[in-house]
């Protein structure tokens, strides 16, 4: 067999099979679209049949697209726009399960509640939460934080004391700083004793913005 003859056959094989008699010839772009559509159906089916341990999707917000992730139990992670998507997903794969798929519809309850919250029509979140990413001390701190009402604030020292760690306001601050579900668990309502804003994982300007939305701070002129 000569190389030239072989090469002609090899080139034809590389083009892939035509789509059969009568079918429109497909170019590379529409083949990739067909593959992407088939992949979306895999993800949707995985979520529908309960094979996905984590479903994620971008969710709109005034801060830009947040990344929301849910398990069968509930919301497990909400990430600010500047958090790297791959790093966030790899963390979920390592700590929860690698069976992670993108299924926008599974995030609809979060989407709806966030939209109402940012419109000022919702004062607390009702969606179920999955605490899998939070350790025992962090859970105590974040549960106390969840009970601070809309429009209210508490100090780090008060939260630490309510969480059963009266001298641990630094530890409480760390637990708040690694809150995996900011906004929904309102760690923005915890301030320094005396009223200084303190820190915020999403940036202190966002903390101020959220407190102004809730009426806990008066907008600066």
Q: Site residues (CB under 8 A) for another protein?
A: 1, 4-6, 8-10, 12-21, 23, 25, 31-32, 34-36, 38-39, 41-43, 45-46, 49, 51-52, 54, 56, 86, 89-90, 92-94, 97-102
92 vs 216, beta carbon nearer another protein:
92
Strands 100-102 and 54-59: parallel
Cβ 95 to another protein shortest distance, Å: 9
Catalytic-role residue among 187, 211, 216, 217:
187
Cβ 76 to another protein shortest distance, Å: 14
CA distance 182 to 196: 19
Catalytic residue flag (residue 187) = yes
CA distance 134 to 136: 7
CA distance 142 to 134: 9
Cβ 66 to another protein shortest distance, Å: 17
CA distance 218 to 102: 39
The total of other beta-carbon atoms located within 10 Å of residue 206's CB is 18
32 vs 112, beta carbon nearer another protein:
32
86 vs 126, beta carbon nearer another protein:
86
Structure tokens at 29: 């772009």
- The residues carrying an active-site annotation are 187
């Amino acid at each position: 067999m000569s190389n030239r003859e072989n090469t002609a056959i090899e080139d034809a094989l590389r083009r892939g099979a035509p789509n059969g008699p009568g079918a429109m010839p497909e170019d590379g772009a529409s083949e990739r679209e067909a593959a992407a559509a088939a992949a979306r159906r895999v993800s949707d089916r995985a979520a529908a049949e309960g094979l996905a341990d984590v479903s994620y999707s971008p969710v709109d917000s005034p801060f830009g697209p947040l990344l929301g992730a849910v398990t069968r139990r509930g919301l497990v992670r909400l990430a600010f726009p500047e958090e790297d998507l791959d790093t966030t997903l790899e963390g979920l794969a390592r700590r929860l399960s690698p069976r992670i798929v993108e299924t926008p519809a599974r995030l609809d309850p979060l989407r709806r509640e966030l939209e109402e919250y940012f419109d000022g029509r919702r004062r607390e979140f009702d969606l179920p939460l999955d605490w899998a990413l939070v350790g025992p001390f962090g859970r105590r701190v974040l549960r106390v934080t969840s009970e601070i009402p809309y429009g209210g604030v508490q100090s780090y020292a008060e939260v630490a004391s309510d969480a059963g760690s009266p001298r641990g306001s630094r530890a409480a601050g760390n637990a708040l700083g690694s809150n995996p579900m900011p906004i929904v668990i309102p760690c923005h309502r915890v301030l320094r004793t005396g009223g200084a804003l303190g820190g915020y994982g999403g940036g202190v300007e966002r903390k101020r913005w959220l407190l102004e939305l809730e009426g806990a701070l008066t907008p600066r002129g």
